[in-house]
Amino acid sequence: MGANHEHDPHHPAPAAGRALRLGIGGPVGGGKTALVAALCRVLREDFALAVVTNDIYTTEDADFLHRTGVLAPERISAVRTGCCPHTAIRDDITANLDAVEAHESRLGPLDLVIVESGGDNLTASFSQGLADRQIFVLDVAGGDKVPRKGGPGVTLADLLVINKIDLASRVGADLDVMTSDADHVREGRPVIATSVREHPDVPEIASWVRAQIAWWRANQAAGGAELAGSGHAH
């Protein structure tokens, strides 16, 4: 519990037996929920999954996932955030931790728990105490200056997804500018430009997530046992 204060912030100490926690954040309307649905559809055969959604004011996102039928209803829960979606994933992660742990204790061992944040601004990012990995989702229609503006979501996310590239010509967005601006501030961390609508199997993003799960499992097998019960890295 908080014993290892010097760990690499991008590689928090794994706690043996718990699932990889993947945060998915980004502004409103970028396609976070569509990406969550796509990942669930593609990964559910190979992994035990659960999802926690953080909607700003309704259970809209959880309802969308229920309707699309990508996961059994008991594998999806919704957290309300008291008008502060960024607070719930960063400053005070308690409600989300509670929901994640409820999934794990109710559904048994899981491989992956996805926490989808409510749509928020560019300064929002997931606490290391909540997410082991995070994806930040932008879309071209939000403006091609967004990656240049930076902010913790764009610069620090383990994967940046630029979605809706099929709309780029219609909204006058320069995709090359977006990806090169993103590369410039991300110090080598990956950027994937795609259209989840046109490629609903999200092959590149799914393989990235598979690689993270593999890394997580390998680290648990290697040294996780002695950390059993240490829980989240506070």
Which of these segments, 11-19, 84-92, 150-158, 169-177, binds other proteins (CB under 8 A)? Answer: 84-92
Tokens of 223: 């040294």
Q: Which is nearer to other proteins, 105 or 198 (CB)?
A: 105
When asked if residue 88 is in the footprint of other proteins (CB under 8 A), the reply is yes
Please report, as residue ranges, which positions from 89 to 108 form the binding site for other proteins (by CB under 8 A): 91-95, 97-98
Which of these segments, 44-52, 53-61, 132-140, 165-173, binds other proteins (CB under 8 A)? Answer: 53-61
Q: Which is nearer to other proteins, 56 or 107 (CB)?
A: 56
When asked if residue 222 is in the footprint of other proteins (CB under 8 A), the reply is no
When asked if residue 115 is in the footprint of other proteins (CB under 8 A), the reply is no
Half-sphere exposure at residue 15, Cβ-oriented, CA atoms within 13 angstroms: 23
Q: How many residues bind other proteins (CB under 8 A)?
A: 22
Largest CA distance in the chain: 54
Q: How far apart are CA 37 and CA 29, in angstroms?
A: 14
Alpha helices in the chain (DSSP H): 32-43, 60-68, 85-86, 94-107, 146-149, 152-156, 168-171, 175-186, 203-219
When asked if residue 82 is in the footprint of other proteins (CB under 8 A), the reply is yes
Q: Which is nearer to other proteins, 92 or 111 (CB)?
A: 92
Token look-up 């902010």 returns 151
Amino acid at position 117, single letter = S
What residues contact residue 216 under an 8 Å CB cut-off, 6+ apart?
A: 14, 20, 132
When asked if residue 15 is in the footprint of other proteins (CB under 8 A), the reply is no
Q: How far apart are CA 198 and CA 61, in angstroms?
A: 21
| Axis crossing angle, helix 32-43 with helix 60-68, rounded to the nearest 10 | 40
Among 56, 141, 175, 206, binds other proteins (CB under 8 A): 56
Phi and psi for 107 in degrees, rounded to 5?
Answer: -100, -5
Among 11, 170, 197, 234, binds other proteins (CB under 8 A): 234
When asked if residue 196 is in the footprint of other proteins (CB under 8 A), the reply is no
Interface positions with other proteins (CB under 8 A): 1-2, 56-59, 79-84, 87-88, 91-95, 97-98, 234
